[in-house]
Amino acid sequence: MAMPAVIGQKIHTPIAIGNGRPAMICPLQGENASQLVSRARKIEISPADVVEWRVDTLAERDPGVVRGAAQVVRREVQRPLIATFRSTGEGGQGDPADSQRVYETVAPIADALDVEYSHAARPELLELAYSHEAVPVLSYHNFERAESADALLDRLERMQTCLVRAGEQACQDMPADQAQALRDRGYGVVKVALTARNEMEALMIMAAGCQFERTKARLPLIVVAMGRHGIVSRAFPRNAGSSATFVSADGQASAPGQIDAHALADFYARIGKIALY
């Protein structure tokens, strides 16, 4: 049984990822504070459970601007908040040179930090997350293609091992009460998002996710098949071994194939019990 991740310790209503119904996570993107405010308000009236602030979509990234935007986002977002700074090499819009500094600025207000597995400063960023009581979401993306099921299973295993080790190490370096709080929050979430170039690739990604979740998972997983062929993975995350699905609000998708939050919630309400399980 995987150790759930409790996200939202900086607000009053944290939620457990990997325990029960998969969460709907909605990206919040904006070039400046006023865009962030109006989009955050649209997300607040959507059925999303968690908000992912894509900090890399800010037009300016000097420390004062990022700090100001972080305060605005934290004030507007009443739901658990993941902060993500995805650089251009990782499929986002951020300058890699800004990455570590931006993460340091947003860590105090974030309930979770999304860290790319290939990030050069990965150990430091995982430590940063733990030291700010933020849950790390360790991510891998491939915007071009999927890989074989074996390669994906291997990757999931390596990512999980990396997070478990980082979590155990962080516990050793902390006073006992903080270490216990970290264990209660969970060592983190492993996330993979790969582009499915056809239906078979989408099903293969889902099958690999499902197999890992059933046989090897110690931490919650998020598994996404991106692109139009992968929409099935977003509608039925459970069938991909995934404890969350990324949705969009107001047409602001952060990756290809995201389903509108209201439409997905409606769909689940209509199809009833087969919905997410």
Ligand X SMILES: O=C1C[C@@](O)(C(=O)O)C[C@@H](O)[C@@H]1O
Give the binding site for ligand X (CB under 6 A): 27, 52, 54, 84, 114, 139, 191, 193, 224, 226, 246, 254-255, 258
Q: Which is nearer to ligand X, 140 or 187 (CB)?
A: 140
Give the nearest distance from C-beta 258 to ligand X in angstroms: 5
Q: What are the residues whose beta carbons fall under 8 Å from the beta carbon of 89, sequence distance 6 or more?
A: 96
Give the nearest distance from C-beta 136 to ligand X in angstroms: 13
Q: Which is nearer to ligand X, 166 or 224 (CB)?
A: 224
Amino acid at residue number 29 = Q
Please report which residue ranges of the chain form alpha helices under DSSP H: 33-44, 63-76, 99-106, 122-131, 149-172, 176-185, 199-215, 231-235, 261-271
Q: Which is nearer to ligand X, 84 or 105 (CB)?
A: 84
Q: For residues 64 and 24, is the Cβ–Cβ distance under 8 A?
A: no
Strands 15-17 and 5-7: antiparallel
Q: For residues 201 and 209, is the Cβ–Cβ distance under 8 A?
A: no
Q: For residues 76 and 44, is the Cβ–Cβ distance under 8 A?
A: yes
Alpha carbons 114 and 126: distance in angstroms, whole number:
9
Alpha carbons 9 and 184: distance in angstroms, whole number:
11
Q: Which is nearer to ligand X, 114 or 213 (CB)?
A: 114
Q: Which is nearer to ligand X, 76 or 114 (CB)?
A: 114
Q: Which is nearer to ligand X, 143 or 277 (CB)?
A: 143
**Quick one: DSSP state of residue 87?**
B
Give the nearest distance from C-beta 173 to ligand X in angstroms: 28
Give the nearest distance from C-beta 191 to ligand X in angstroms: 6
Alpha carbons 40 and 218: distance in angstroms, whole number:
33
Give the nearest distance from C-beta 180 to ligand X in angstroms: 29
What is the sign, positive or negative, of the torsion defined by CA atoms of 118, 194, 90, 28? negative
Give the nearest distance from C-beta 22 to ligand X in angstroms: 13
Whole-number Cα distances in Å, 174 to 6, 124, 180, 195: 19, 15, 9, 39
Q: Which is nearer to ligand X, 105 or 252 (CB)?
A: 252
Give the nearest distance from C-beta 181 to ligand X in angstroms: 26
